[in-house]
Chains A and B, each alone.
Chain A
């Protein structure tokens, strides 16, 4: 199975800050990587697909980059509604695997 390692596992930032989450794949996955936001009690939602494409209706302050084994996800101008856990997910090969998640808190 492809292991997806996210870092950091948690972070705290102030409103208006920029934050970046990294995701490392245990083998090359091209650009077959998505990023999701999951708020407690809600359905997860896709923010970035195919490494760098914005999901439908997703604000441009979310950005994804990378390829092969290293990917980053950035939120610029952090907003209160960004409190959530963020996951990367690869779909190059089955089984589909997720990173362990990054919990984002607001200072």
Chain B
């Protein structure tokens, strides 16, 4: 069955970096764009970034553009989110999600991971 498993979360100091991973299985990885969505404590869902099926295009929200970089290794069926210059307001659960086949960002997220917690604190 389709699985997306996030990892790499933890506690990090402000200004430092962290890399999250999203390992996929159970489907043809190269047919799907993958997105990152986060949920800060007590808040709602916030879209962060996306990467196209072949990794040639990436998309970001203004709140992370220039600080976060999304990439993928199709040989490992894994998407990464490199988070730099972390701030306290980046503290959140980070989810990766698969968007419907054939689309980079138009459509719905048909599968999500369980999320990984990132805490930015000194």
A→B interface (CB under 8 Å): 1, 32, 34, 36, 38, 41-46, 49-50, 55-56, 85, 87, 89, 91, 94-101
Contact = CB atoms under 8 A, between A and B. Distances in A.
Contact of A98 (B45, B106, B107): B45
B46 A44 contact: no
A55 to B, nearest CB: 8
Interface residues of B, number: 23
Interface string B84-114: 0000000000010100000001111111111
Q: Is the interface of A mostly helix, strand, loop or mixed?
A: loop
A95 B61 contact: yes
10 contacts: A38-B39, A43-B111, A43-B112, A44-B95, A46-B109, A85-B44, A91-B105, A95-B47, A96-B35, A98-B47
B108 A49 contact: yes
A12 B19 CA distance: 39
A101 B112 CA distance: 18
Given A49-B108, A91-B107, A95-B61, A43 B115 contact: yes
A46 B45 contact: no
A97 B110 contact: no
A43 B95 contact: yes
Given A91-B105, A91-B106, A44 B47 contact: no
A49 B113 CA distance: 19
A99 B44 contact: yes
Contacts of B108: 34, 46, 49-50, 55, 89, 91
